[in-house]
Copies of this chain bind each other. A is one copy, B any other.
Amino acid sequence: MTRIDDVARLAGVSTATVSRALRGLPTVSAATRRRVLAAAEQLDYAVSPSASRLAGGRTGTVAVVVPRITRWFFGTVVEAVEDVLQQAGYDLLLYNLGGREQVRQRVLGTANLHKRVDAVMLVATPLRPADLTALTKLRLPGVTISSGTVVPDWPCVRIDDVGVARTATRHLLDLGHRRIAHISGDPHDELAYTTHLDRRRGYREALRDAGIDPDPGLDVESQFTISGGTRATEELLRRGDPPTAIFAACDEMAMGAMTALRDAGLRVPQDVSVIGVDDHDLAGVLGLSTIAQSAAEQGRLAARILLDPLHGGARPSSGGPCLDTPGAPVILPTRLIVRESTAAPRAH
């Protein structure tokens, strides 16, 4: 392969000048730059990332850590992030935790990341105190999406999970429901996702505001997946005296709930109303009412926030929306979408 010396020789300049010209540094005359670019083009030259990184001390790489790339929210976030990084010339190193504890250790626990990437994006990834300490010691820039754990000095892009849950629950209350169940993630998990906790809190607050005491028998914990929603709903039905409505903590759980209800001979929404959170690609297909959030927008925004300081730009302080309070999370909007899965309960 052609090296920088080849380009330098052909262009009649030093390798230092080639390096500067190719990176678009301002300290190169227009004429020289033209010659260098032409030479590089002619030789089909591409810089060696390894050499460039070793010499320059920057990796041009961002680590993106997600729980499961196959879930709607994470796939959509990664697609948006990849787009922004790609345009900025950054490589995207994908870490899919997939519930594998050893992977979490390898990714977060060592100096692994430090020498491998310039910055880290943690998507809905909760950290143990020990992980957090290790990560903080690396002094890497980073950003979090959808909380998980708050990392000091890292911006956070998210939605108002408590508010989302309140809106969903209130929608069911407004329709006349009183026995409203909630299916969500497992708070007993050692690494509790704050998303689950916040949505449960909003659900309870909305009930209390309506004068209803939350019934623990209507609150089932499971996983944030389709089958998790199915299992939670089956459990709910097993307990007898079924609810007239279910608020699922995400659309995938809501879809699982719809399956379980159908299999149990119950109709949606005639027998049981169902509402989720996300506005998943298939929510429309299934006629699922939901609280919509834009995963793509969260990914895009987080990627831009991450890249900005890397390019020497100041961290956005007052220009952008919602960034007025440095250190405060950037909260993106959500909205209720009413489809066919929610209706008034049948009169008894």
Contact = CB atoms under 8 A, between A and B. Distances in A.
A51 B54 contact: yes
A70 B59 contact: no
A96 B94 CA distance: 12
Contacts of A86: 95-96, 103, 106
Nearest to A257: B285
A83 B102 CA distance: 12
Nearest to A282: B282
A28 to B, nearest CB: 22
A98 B69 contact: no
A90 to B, nearest CB: 11
A79 to B, nearest CB: 5
A31 interface: no
A60 to B, nearest CB: 10
A284 B259 CA distance: 8
Nearest to A64: B94
B44 A110 contact: yes
Nearest to A51: B54
Copies of this chain, complex-wide, total 2
A59 B69 contact: no
A interface bracket (residues with beta carbon within 8 Å of B): 35 or more
B69 A114 contact: no
B70 A96 contact: no
A345 interface: no
A79 B83 contact: no
A133 interface: no
Interface string A45-57: 1111111011000
Contacts of A78: 69, 94, 96
Interface in A92-122: 92-96, 98, 100, 103, 106, 110-112, 114-116
Nearest to A71: B75
Nearest to A340: B262
Interface in A249-280: 255-256, 258-259
Nearest to A137: B44
B75 A112 contact: no
A59 B258 CA distance: 47
A153 interface: no
Contacts of A1: 111, 114-115
A49 B286 CA distance: 47
What 7 pairs between A and B have smallest CB-CB spacing? Answer: A46-B111, A50-B53, A50-B54, A82-B96, A70-B75, A48-B115, A259-B285
Interface of A: 1-2, 44-51, 53-54, 59, 68-70, 72, 75-76, 78-79, 82-83, 86, 91-96, 98, 100, 103, 106, 110-112, 114-116, 226, 255-256, 258-259, 281-282, 284-286
16 contacts: A1-B115, A46-B112, A46-B114, A48-B115, A49-B59, A49-B116, A70-B79, A79-B96, A79-B98, A82-B96, A83-B98, A91-B93, A91-B116, A93-B94, A94-B94, A258-B285
